[in-house]
Chain A
């Protein structure tokens, strides 16, 4: 199988060598050649134009609008914005005695999610992928079963989790039936301030493990079997082979899995919105930055807080870019 080099992709390549300024094979050149080059270039740009237009309409415009909004106060309805410069950022970070404590609390919760979710996803996905890869029987069935949480993810699943985690829900009933009543939560797993956030983290991990496992499986199947055979010939057992050969070779996949889950942990809020409500019940103990941003935009009873929501979004964006850069650096050093 051949692989395309970067130079064989992109508009210039689509337009062919003529568009890249090379002499035509026929060597005719002249006005006919120029017309053909122009036609082909126009065709190439015509095909890329829709994507560019869509990005301009929904990407650049939204980015610019959001950036401008982060420097204003507005409730989404009044005809005029009130410009406040960087006040929204400063209010969120430390200055406003109403919003800054909420953002601080949400930031700690978000940090906990950002640490726990990627770590747990990797800790579960990698061994699961190794086991699934080595399964001889019912391999397809097992892969399907482990991938189900991803296929069925969505609002309905989060609602279902909410019901089974209630005080009289299935999880408590199961624990009591198994003689583990001391682990049951009388207030429900989402009602106890000490268990609410860990419980949502578990649900997020449950949702993310299938993709992590799939990525690791792909990596495992692309490994050169010679390396594994060499390790076996050198006397490495199953544990040593996976720890010292497979795990280091799959480090780029680990980095990608961690980055994907960091992004979701940083910006995602839908799990929290559905399972614990817009205020991060109980009593704000599951409030995270993504949820706070959504709440400032849509749940502040028409107060002019859309600018605060946008500013918080940009702060999250800055953190996401920082994490991406760190991840890129880590990948380069690994390479």
Chain B
């Protein structure tokens, strides 16, 4: 059939329009709930799926109180969250509120101009609701600004004094979870209090069950072994000064006797890793522990929520901080809580006042307690004497934490080269090659650690 030219032209125009329409849709807009809310509605994105339901419950109470609707959306995993934010920032599609890693995305996004500076808006009556040592979390210190000017910094552009977030959940890395039943079956009566106790307990549980009696962590993310176990073990063994000395510029601490000693202690775990731990992701390792395929699981205070999601009861678990050896210089000092996740208001928010009200609402004691109980996470809000309102699991976890001056503080990076924390997976991979893979000796690992730390120092101006 021959079409006349007019009809063909019409057809061509229609084809072009049809193809161009999706392109136009790629432009700015807010059809998916992003791009800020209206006067009585705001949107919030989080990278934690477990936080969605508790936040929605809080949002329902917030709506009853303020009339503002909060729409909560989870975007997982972390790399998808980052990519989504990258594209949303470019297309003016950011939500009103973001949940971010404290001293992570808040600084990066804040330095890039994506987050509102909350300085002056978070007054003393607001920040006073948080536990003492996280009240200023999210505020840029002069040290952070200096570090931001180093080559390779993940957060260029931040200014000292600016505040890009307020704390939301707190906790610590370096909590060991043990299955109480498996400990009892292996004749282990007490929760390990020293490193030697832990190794002895592992010996007993693996003797009872060769394949399921060991310890696990998601070593497919190799930083876990380093950041959740070796750092804490090093601190407990060498004390604060000795631990800081491992990272001192020009000291070659990791390749010293101290460095080799802590690596040797860590290497004692090698026979006791549950089979396949080196290829498990973090959630897979937690699931294996919850399903009694491991007697011990390494994590942080946030791990308990995952274990409960996988069907384990909090009462079946004993939680303790990574123990120091008997002759350790900082034995039993506990883990200092720090802000794990924070809340930020984006600069693209069309309703920043409502967003701020939502942040303040979440910081209130009763809201935080309800959230903590539903999410099995420790809130940044100080629950004080009402801590029991957050449930027994949170109460048990809180015992691993300490606010003492000698407690191990995972958030203190002031003595490390600026690039160390950003590249922690690279050192973690070296550690995994030593234990459990046995591909490198303690000496080889110590030498390579030293080379990388030295390189990170050399990269600084």
Please list the residues of chain A having a beta carbon within 8 angstroms of any beta carbon in chain B. 39, 42-43, 46-47, 49-50, 53-54, 57, 73, 75-79, 97-98, 102, 166-168, 186-188, 190-191, 193, 196, 276-279, 281-284, 298-304
Contacts and interface: CB of A to CB of B under 8 A. Distances in A.
A277 B293 CA distance: 21
Q: Is the interface of A mostly helix, strand, loop or mixed?
A: loop
Interface residues on B, range: 35 or more
Nearest to B222: A279
Nearest to A163: B284
B16 interface: yes
B267 interface: no
B385 interface: no
A279 B437 contact: no
B60 interface: no
Given A279-B220, A282-B279, A283-B433, A98 B452 contact: yes
Nearest to B152: A303
B278 A281 contact: yes
B392 interface: no
B19 interface: yes
Contacts of A50: 15-16, 19-20
B109 interface: yes
Interface in B6-34: 8-9, 12-13, 15-16, 19-20, 23
A128 B108 CA distance: 54
Contacts of B105: 302
Contacts, number: 147
9 contacts: A98-B452, A191-B279, A278-B221, A279-B220, A279-B428, A281-B222, A282-B220, A300-B422, A303-B152
Nearest to B8: A43
A279 B221 CA distance: 7
A281 B89 CA distance: 32
Interface string B405-425: 000000000000001011101
B155 interface: yes
A98, A278, A298 pick with most chain B CB within 10 angstroms: A98
Contacts of B211: 167-168
Nearest to A57: B23
Interface stretch (B40-48, B78-86, B127-135, B161-169): B78-86
Interface of B: 5, 8-9, 12-13, 15-16, 19-20, 23, 79, 82-83, 85-86, 89, 104-105, 108-109, 111-114, 152-157, 211, 219-222, 275-279, 281, 293, 419, 421-423, 425-426, 428-430, 432-433, 436-437, 439, 451-452, 455-456
Q: Which 3 A-B pairs have the closest CB atoms?
A: A282-B278, A167-B275, A277-B220
A77 B432 contact: no
A196 B432 CA distance: 15
B82 A276 contact: no
B15 A281 contact: no
A278 B451 CA distance: 24
B16 A191 contact: no
A196 to B, nearest CB: 7
Contacts of B155: 302
Contacts of B456: 98
Contacts of A193: 433, 437, 439
Contacts of A57: 23
Given A47-B12, A188-B276, A283-B439, A77 B429 contact: no
A188 B437 CA distance: 12
B220, B277, B281 pick with most chain A CB within 10 angstroms: B220
Given A97-B451, A298-B79, A298-B83, A47 B15 contact: yes
